[in-house]
Chain A
Amino acid sequence: MTGLDFNPVFAHLPFLLGGVGVTILIATLAFAFGLSLAVALAILRFENQGAWRRLSRSYSTALTNTPQLSQIFAVFYCLPLIGLMVSPFLSVVIGMTLNAAAYLADILGAGMARVPPVYHEVALTLGLNRRQTYLRVILPYAGRAMFPALANHFQIMILGSAMASIFGVEDLTGRAYDIGSTTFRILEVMLVTGGLYALLSFALTGVFALFRRTMERMV
C-alpha cells in the first residue's frame, strides 16, 4: 500500500532517544528497590521455618503467578481508592519493584542455599554476628553465584518496562506510540524502537560481562 518511509521517524529521533533515559531510570529504580526487598524476603526464608518463611514464599508465589501488568494496574488505579495518589511514573516503578522482588528473592534464596556450610562455620569462628555474616559472607557469595541470573532479570526488566507506556509514562515505547500517532508511521517507528531496545540490551550485556570480570579479579 505504501513504501517504508523512515524520515518522519528520524525527524523525531531526539524525542525518541529521550525515552531511552526514562526506560533505564524505571528499570534501574525498580531493580534497586526490588533487590533490597528481595534480600529481606530471602533472609526471612533462610532464617525461619514457620510463618515468616511461609509469608515470604507466599509473596513470591502470588506475584510470580500474576501478570506484572495487573500489578501496576492495581497500584495505578487502586491506590487512589484509599486516598493515595501516586504519579504514573511512580506507579510503574512501585509495580515493577513488587514484581521484581518476588523473582529476585527466589534467585537470591537459591544463591544463599549454595553457600557451603564451612563458610558459616568460619564466620562463627571469626566471631561475626548474623548481620556481619550476611553482609560479608552469605550475600556476597550468593550475589556472585547468581550474578548471571540477576543480570538477566535486569535485562528482562528493561524490556518489560515498555508497559509503562500504557499508564501514560513517556518511556521509549510511550514516545514511540506518540510519534506513531502523529506521523502514522507506526511500523517504521516500532522497527527503530525495537532496534534501540536491542542496542540497549547488547550494551547491558557488555557492561555486565565487564562488571563480572572486574568482580572476579577483586576476589
Chain B
Amino acid sequence: MRAIRNSLLLGVWAASVVLWGGGVQARDSAAIRASGHINIGVEPGLPPLGKYDDHNVLVGYDVDIGRAIAQGLGVEPRFVTLASSGRIPYLMAGKVDVVLGGLTRTPARADVIAFSRPLYSEQFAVIAPADRGIASFADLESGAHRLIEVRGSTAVAYLQQHAPKASMLLLESYADAIRALAQGRGDAMVDVIEYVGHYLPSQPQVHWRIIRGFAAPVGDDCIGMSQQDVALRADVNGILDGMEHDGRLEQIHRRWFDPAGAGHAP
C-alpha cells in the first residue's frame, strides 16, 4: 500500500509540474518579439504544405507562409514539426506560437483557438481504388464500404455528419492511410486531394479513382493562434493582407499548389 501511495503522490507531483510549470503558457506577441523568434507548427507529412526535400530541408507552402509571417514580425522563424492530431494540442500547450498544417476553421475548433484570415479554401474528394466499385459519395453513405481516415483531420467530423453509417479505420498519417487503402484494409478515403494526391504515386499498382464535387468547399485554411492574443492576430492578419496586396500570397500559392487544383487563394 505504501508503494501505491508513493506512486500516486509522485504522479500528482509530476502532473503539477506539467500543469503549472512555466513551459505550458502560450507566449503573447510582446514575448515573441522580445525573444526574437516565433515557434511555428507545421506538418512535414502533408505536401505541398510541408515536406522534407531531397536535401532533408523542410519546405512547402506553410514554410513559406511561416517565414513571411516571421519576417513581418521582425523575428526569426523556428519551425516545430507535428502531426495532424497534434496541431491544436501543441498550440494549447504553448509548444508553438502559431500553427499551420492545413488547419481548417471549424466552429468546434473556434471554441478553443483563434484563427487568422483565410489563406485558401479547400474541398473534399473521394479517393478510392477503381476496383472497389465506388462511383459517388452516395455509395459511402450506405455504410457498405469501410473508410480509412487520418485521426484529427476535418474529414472525420465531416463523415460522422454526412456518412454516419460508414465504419472508419483511423490511422496516424496520410502515408499510412494510403498504404492501408492500397492493401485493401478499406475501400475509400475522403480528404483534400491536393494533400493526399502526393501520396498516390507511392502505390503505382493501384488505379485510383478521384470523385470531386459532392461537397461544397469545406472551409478555409487559416493560421491558428491563441484566443487571448488579440495583438498577434491583428499583426498576422495585417501581414497577410499586405501579402495579398503585393501578390506574394498568390505567388506562394501558385508555387506549391497545382493552379488547376481545387484550392484557391482568397
- B89 near A177 with CB under 8 A, answer no
Task: Return the contact of A1 from the options B11, B108, B152, B226 (Cβ within 8 A).
Answer: B226
A to B contact number (C-beta, < 8 Å): 68
Say which one of B42-50, B73-81, B179-187 lies at the interface with A.
B179-187
Q: Are A198 and B7 in contact (CB under 8 A)?
A: yes
A181 B151 Cβ-Cβ under 8 A = yes
Judging by beta carbons under 8 Å apart, are B92 and A2 in contact? yes
**Number of residues on chain B facing chain A (CB within 8 A):** 36
Residues of A within 8 A of B157 (CB): 182
Residue numbers in B under 8 Å from A198 (CB-CB):
7-8, 11
CB within 8 A of B89: which of A77, A178, A184, A202? Answer: A184
Asked whether, in the complex, the Cβ of A4 is within 8 Å of the Cβ of B19, the reply is yes
Q: Choose one: B89, B170, B228; the contact of A187 (CB below 8 Å).
A: B89
Q: Which residues of B contact A166 (CB under 8 A)?
A: 171-172
B228 and A1 contacting across the interface, CB-CB below 8 Å = yes
- Quote the shortest CB–CB distance from B183 to chain A (angstroms): 4
Q: Which residue of B lies closest to A206 (CB)?
A: B4
Docked CA distance A85–B181 (Å): 12
Q: B11, A181: Cβ atoms under 8 Å?
A: no
Size range of the chain A interface in the assembly: 20 to 34
Q: Does B25 contact A (CB under 8 A)?
A: yes
Chain A residues lying within 8 Å of B151, measured Cβ to Cβ, are 177-178, 181
Verify B112–A184 contact, CB threshold 8 A: yes
A198 to B5, CA, bound (A): 12
Interchain nearest-CB distance for A126 vs B (Å): 42
Contact with A along B149-171 (1 / 0, CB 8 A): 00110001100000000000111
Given the complex, which residues of B lie within 8 Å of A177, measured CB to CB?
A: 85, 151-152
Chain A: minimal CB distance from B149 (Å): 9
Question: Once the chains are docked, how many angstroms separate the CA of A5 from the CA of B89?
Answer: 14
Q: Which of B7, B112, B152, B183 contacts A77 (CB 8 A)?
A: B183
Distance, CA A1 to CA B108, complexed state (A) = 17
- Report Cα–Cα, A205/B2, bound state, in Å: 13
Q: Is the CB–CB distance between A77 and B170 below 8 Å?
A: no
Which positions 81-104 of chain B face chain A at CB distance < 8 Å? Answer: 85, 88-89, 91-94
B residues bordering A, Cβ < 8 Å? Answer: 4, 7-8, 11, 15, 19, 25-26, 85, 88-89, 91-94, 108-109, 111-113, 151-152, 156-157, 169-172, 179-180, 183-185, 226-228
